Amino acid sequence: ALSFGIDEALKQLGLQEINHGTSTGVHSFGSGELIESFSPVDGQSIGKVTSTTKEEYEKVIQTATKAFHHWRKVPAPQRGEIVRQFGEKLRELKEPLGKLVSYEMGKSYQEGLGEVQEMIDICDFAVGLSRQLHGLTMHSERPGHRMYEQYHPLGIAGIISAFNFPVAVWSWNTALAWVCGDVCVWKPSEKTPLCGVACQSIIAEVLRENNLPEGISCLINGDYTVGEFMSHDKRIPLVSATGSTRMGKIVAQAVAARLGKSLLELGGNNAIIVTPDADIKMTVIGAVFGAVGTAGQRCTSTRRLIIHESIYDKVKKALVDAYQQLRIGNPLDENNHVGPLIDLDAVKMYNSALQKVAEEGGNIIVEGEVLSGEGYESGCYVKPAIVEADNTFKIVQEETFAPILYLLKYSGDVENAIAMQNDVAQGLSSAIMTNNLREAERFLSVAGSDCGIANVNIGTSGAEIGGAFGGEKETGGGRESGSDAWKVYMRRQTNTINYTAELPLAQGIKFDL
Ligand code: NAD
């Protein structure tokens, strides 16, 4: 039996037939190739799922299409009620699901719970939204005419998600898509397939209890080839894809080639600007959490600190001191701050980034290292590193999905820091630490940060669901979650109604017969 109650959590999630620690457990979801899920926490096999074949995919799309024809006619507030029940189930299962997220993905148990809380939050948001999917009423230029707009569901929303938020990203999409009247087909990351199975079981139960077709929520498994089924499929009007910029460029082109819609949530290269007026204590907590939380594998992880030269040494020393306090180990043990990377490939990328930055002239001030020995058997635990670097280094311009923090120095005005912060290809999250109102407002102004998220006296990671989430440039331009992000899941229709016995034409055009 596993410590930290993993066995019990799997049982509560209905995954007991996936035998932990053996290679015999097969959860049958299809007949394709087996994907085995290994925990980066201890290297053990958690279970296997089968990937979806093309034939099975065809069946899934037929099931989803049929379900859509029913679901779109269910009034939106009633769809909201289903999402409310789903949120209730998530409340009941918050601990086991949070544990599975932590064990399969490797983030701390606290962050695993936080991820499930985000799912609950977006459900609550979507329930309220289900009564507010409103369009505008406009004044017609023609007498006796009424003009308004309404939003109708799109159909099937295809969701492709990344390993680092194995459950929340799905719910950001589905909770909104469902109240909008869409049905969803989800391909989770092949690195976290059991999180996908667990979520699907939870919603399937809610749908069953309400006599609704399970096709409202469909799960397909596999690697990028299964994702490609969706990006090329014209029966899927919207593909929401979260992952690397490399993946986003491929998916966007495939979807655009058939003039479908894509919602892209791609890589970030997020910076915190630290000005002479910053609160250093807050800066250190925000920067360290942002850089090492989820072992540096959040799209919003802090990768660059842009520090004013006048306080550079002070901040650097405080950071180095803080890094000495970090405890690295099993993320289910709440005494630890930093868990493992997702897999051995990620460890390779971490090593290679450290090597590259050294070759480019970076000065490593907190050394990185792959940890070994007791508790580190999976080979996925690495030491968070800090490197003094230059913004122009090739490796600094890239997103390395690992806990490597680059310190960059600026002099003069805050404009110089903003220019550096913007001088990367990605545009997801950004932050400024300052108690100076003028600096803060310049950072938020039209000439300020070019990112989708710009924070003042908060780090780069840890967004709330109420705001629209996403970023510009190579981050892909999509927005999910709060505000009016729901509109992407619907099609807008403009309606003009003539209640007279005349047929006046717009723009006063005369046409008599
Ligand atoms: P990845 O790009 O390797 O994979 C993401 C998903 O895309 C997986 O499900 C994968 O199977 C699928 N995929 C890959 N190639 C595909 C293709 N050609 N066609 C269709 N599907 C394809 O990313 P990852 O390593 O799982 O996740 C890390 C990346 O995700 C980072 O770049 C991170 O910044 C990004 N991310 C972004 C956000 C955001 O909201 N902006 C959130 C989480 C993660």
CA of 321 to the centre of ligand 1 (A): 34
Find out whether the beta carbon of 170 lies less than 6 Å from any atom of ligand 1: no
Asked whether 486 lines ligand 1 (CB < 6 A), one says no
To test ligand 1's pocket by mutation, which of 224, 236, 424 has the most ligand atoms within 8 angstroms of CB? 224
Beta bridge partners of 158: 185, 239
State the DSSP H helix or E strand holding residue 454, giving kind and residue range, or none if neither: strand 453-456
Q: Is 166 in the pocket of ligand 1 (CB under 6 A)?
A: no
- Is 93 a pocket residue for ligand 1 (Cβ < 6 Å)? no
C-alpha 371 to ligand 1 mean position (Å): 26
Ligand 1 atom at shortest distance from the alpha carbon of 188: 9
Strands annotated E in 130-187: 137-138, 145-153, 156-160, 183-187
Cβ of residue 251 lying under 6 Å from some atom of ligand 1: yes
Contact 230, 75 (CB under 8 A): no
The answer to whether residues 403 and 376 touch, using CB atoms and an 8 Å cutoff, is: no
Q: Whose CA is nearest to atom 35 of ligand 1?
A: 243
Tokens 């406009």, residue located = 138
> How many angstroms does the Cα of residue 242 sit away from the middle of ligand 1?
5
Q: What is the dihedral of CA 174, 178, 182, 183, to 10 degrees?
A: 70
Note the helical H segments in 138-214.
168-180, 193-209
CB-ligand 1 contact for 427 (6 Å cutoff): no
Which residue's CA is the closest to the ligand 1 atom numbered 40?
265
How would you label 339-369 residue by residue, b for 16+ Cβ within 10 Å and e otherwise? bbbbbeebbebbeebbebbeeeebeebbebe
Q: Indicate if ligand 1 lies below 6 Å from the C-beta of 164.
A: yes
Q: For residues 188 and 193, what is the distance between their CA atoms, to the nearest angstrom?
A: 6
* Residues facing residue 330 across a β-bridge: none
Q: 320-324, long-range: CB within 8 Å, 24+ apart, which pairs?
A: 320/365, 320/366, 320/386, 322/284, 322/288, 323/288, 323/366, 323/384, 323/386
Q: What confidence tens digit (pLDDT) does each residue in 250-294 have?
A: 999 999 999 999 999 999 999 999 999 999 999 999 999 999 999
Query: Does the pTM exceed 0.95?
Result: yes
Distance of CA 191 from the midpoint of ligand 1 (Å): 11
Burial class (CB in 10 A: 0-12, 13-18, 19+), 260: buried
- Distance, in Å, from the CA atom of 132 to the CA atom of 47, rounded to the nearest integer, reads 42
Q: From the CB of 350, is ligand 1 less than 6 Å away?
A: no
pLDDT in tens, the chain (513 residues): 457 899 899 999 988 765 443 333 344 456 788 899 999 999 999 888 889 999 999 999 999 999 999 999 999 999 999 999 999 999 999 999 999 999 999 999 999 999 999 999 999 999 999 999 999 999 999 999 999 999 999 999 999 999 999 999 999 999 999 999 999 999 999 999 999 999 999 999 999 999 999 899 999 999 999 999 999 999 999 999 999 999 999 999 999 999 999 999 999 999 999 999 999 999 999 999 999 999 999 999 999 999 999 999 999 999 999 999 999 999 999 999 999 999 999 999 999 999 999 999 999 999 999 999 999 999 999 999 999 999 999 999 999 999 999 999 999 999 999 999 999 999 999 999 999 999 999 999 999 999 999 999 999 998 999 999 999 999 999 999 999 999 999 999 999 999 999 999 999 999 999
| Ranges of H-type helices in 93-167 | 94-105, 109-129
3-state secondary structure of 447: coil
Q: Which residues pair with 50 in a beta bridge?
A: 34
What ipTM does this complex have?
Answer: 0.97
CB distance 263 to 238 below 8 Å: yes
Asked if 98 and 13 touch (Cβ cutoff 8 Å), the reply is: no
- Residue 358's pLDDT is 98
Residue 214's pLDDT is what?
86
> Strand, helix or coil at 147?
strand
Q: What is the pLDDT of residues 448-485, one digit of tens each?
A: 999 999 999 999 998 999 999 999 999 999 999 999 99
| Atom 20 in ligand 1: residue holding the nearest Cα | 227
- SS3 sequence of 361-420: CCEEEECCCECCCCCCCCCCCECCEEEECCCCCHHHHCCCCCCEEEEEEECCCHHHHHHH
> b/e for 150-163, b at 16 or more Cβ within 10 A?
ebebbbbbbbbbbb
Residue 265 bears catalytic tag: yes
* Active-site residue, selected from the candidate residues 111, 265, 474, 480: 265
State in Å: Cα 471 to ligand 1 middle. 15
Q: What is the pLDDT of residue 21?
A: 37
Q: Please tell me the predicted confidence (pLDDT) of residue 26.
A: 42
- Measured in Å, residue 280 CA sits from the centre of ligand 1 at 34
Contact indicator for 25, 18 with CB cutoff of 8 Å: yes
Q: Is 313 helix (H, G, I), strand (E, B) or coil?
A: helix
* 492 token code pair: 């807008």
